[in-house]
Amino acid sequence: MEASKKLNNTPDLNGYFGEYGGTFVPDQLREILAEITDSYLQIREDPDFISELASLYRHYVGRPSPVYHAATLSKKLGGAGIYFKREDLNHTGAHKINHCLGEALLAKRMGKKKLIAETGAGQHGVALATAAAITGLACDIYMGTVDIEKEHPNVTRMKILGARVIPVSDGLATLKEAVDAAFRAYLEDPLTQFYAIGSVVGPHPFPMMVRDFQQVVGQEAIGQFTQLTGALPDNLVACVGGGSNAIGLFTAFLDEPSIKIYGVEPSGRGFKDGDHAATLSLGKPGIIHGFKCYLLQDEAGDPLPVHSIASGLDYPGVGPQHSYLKDLGRVRYETISDDEAVEAFFVLSRLEGIIPALESAHAVAFTIKLARTLARDKSILVNLSGRGDKDIDYVMKHYGRRYCPPNGYSWPMSTG
């Protein structure tokens, strides 16, 4: 079939998914990226590399992560079967360790000595510091001083794991300034350092590479799900920030046209500029951080400020492959607000005993809406990208009065 051929051959040799992706960078960097691409394409075929990564996934991360039938939630919502791919049970608590280990092993095989990255809330920083520790590489994480103040537990984790956390106090002292600083440091010595991008974004080959490392999620799930139910899922759901956990689940299923696939973006506080990060729903094609994608941008093409209660989802761009899948109509991109995500956070906690990350709670919230429209014989497979330990203090501070009043627990979901 034409459409499935298109999906499986992406990206092309220049890193394009349809019109998206590519390499919009200065010449010096273009050469460095071409070298990384060549090394990666060789190394990914190397049986030693493949078995070393597979062994880490199995014995270190704890893969395969289970697929779990959420029977109580399914019943409550009308009977369609809801299943979770439990990436929250991975070592370090989310899917990010999958690509961080891949990138660290690749860097090591390329002879690099140090991993460099920026981090916002610290999730990518912690996963990368973990991968650096296990592979024996040095690790520098650039982080805005405002974020360092806000995300103390993750800063402490990175330090304990042996990473250097380098404070960035320029400008607003948050993620954007941290990206700029990390990038400057990388360009000073690209020979011994490796810039490890934290999602399926950035210039070629990163969207392809990070996707390849995350594919394990869907590859496992397809076998686990069919073994549990005797069939393929009817629907897939995952949250989309840059898009790595979503593409990781979706890739193995893209060829099955009968499966409906949903990516969930944050509509935050509403649809005014600066209040959301619903890039695919409201953005237009543009260029950010060296690649072309849907982008929330102003008249001049500069990225707009974004907001989500889930810091892993507030990025004004999105992976080029998602941009392409949207245009092809293969994946539908929907939105969930901050309040809906928090409600789903409590629903899953109280019905299933699983506290999800606020990012993953967006996927759960959309699943709750979708399940109510489905017949009992239909199924939904949801990527539960991470656990919510990191979010509990924030949620209690801002939503505790509503969901955990002192005289008893209020039930989060209308049962009607």
Ligand X SMILES: *Cc1c(COP(=O)(O)O)cnc(C)c1O
User: In whole angstroms, what is the distance from residue 144 CA to residue 147 CA?
Assistant: 5
Binding site for ligand X (CB under 6 A): 94, 96, 123, 199, 239-245, 312-313, 357, 359-360, 385-386
Q: What six digits make up the tokens of 36?
A: 């990384």
Q: For Cα atoms 286, 291, 297, give the angle at the middle one, nearest 5 degrees.
A: 25
What is the nearest approach in angstroms of ligand X to the Cβ of residue 63?
16
Question: Which is nearer to ligand X, 94 or 280 (by Cβ)?
Answer: 94
Question: Which is nearer to ligand X, 140 or 359 (by Cβ)?
Answer: 359
Amino acid sitting at position 121? A
What is the nearest approach in angstroms of ligand X to the Cβ of residue 113?
26
What is the nearest approach in angstroms of ligand X to the Cβ of residue 121?
8
Question: Which is nearer to ligand X, 135 or 244 (by Cβ)?
Answer: 244
Question: Which is nearer to ligand X, 243 or 283 (by Cβ)?
Answer: 243
User: In whole angstroms, what is the distance from residue 318 CA to residue 312 CA?
Assistant: 12
Q: Give Dmax (Cα) for the chain.
A: 64
- Of 159, 152, 148, 139, residue with least CA distance to 120: 148
What is the nearest approach in angstroms of ligand X to the Cβ of residue 382?
12
Tell me, yes or no, if 281 is annotated catalytic: no
- Burial class of residue 327, CB neighbours in 10 A (0-12, 13-18, 19+): middle
- Give me the helices (H) in 110-250, please: 123-135, 145-150, 152-160, 175-188, 206-214, 216-229, 244-250
What is the nearest approach in angstroms of ligand X to the Cβ of residue 262?
14
Tell me, yes or no, if 96 is annotated catalytic: yes
What residue number has its CB nearest to ligand X?
Answer: 386
Question: Which is nearer to ligand X, 199 or 349 (by Cβ)?
Answer: 199
* Backbone torsions φ then ψ of 313, nearest 5 degrees: -105, -5
- Burial class of residue 269, CB neighbours in 10 A (0-12, 13-18, 19+): middle
Scan for tokens 């995300």, then name that residue: 151
65, 74, 85, 96: which one is catalytic? 96
65, 85, 103, 118: which one is catalytic? 118
Tell me, yes or no, if 385 is annotated catalytic: yes
Active site residues: 96, 118, 385
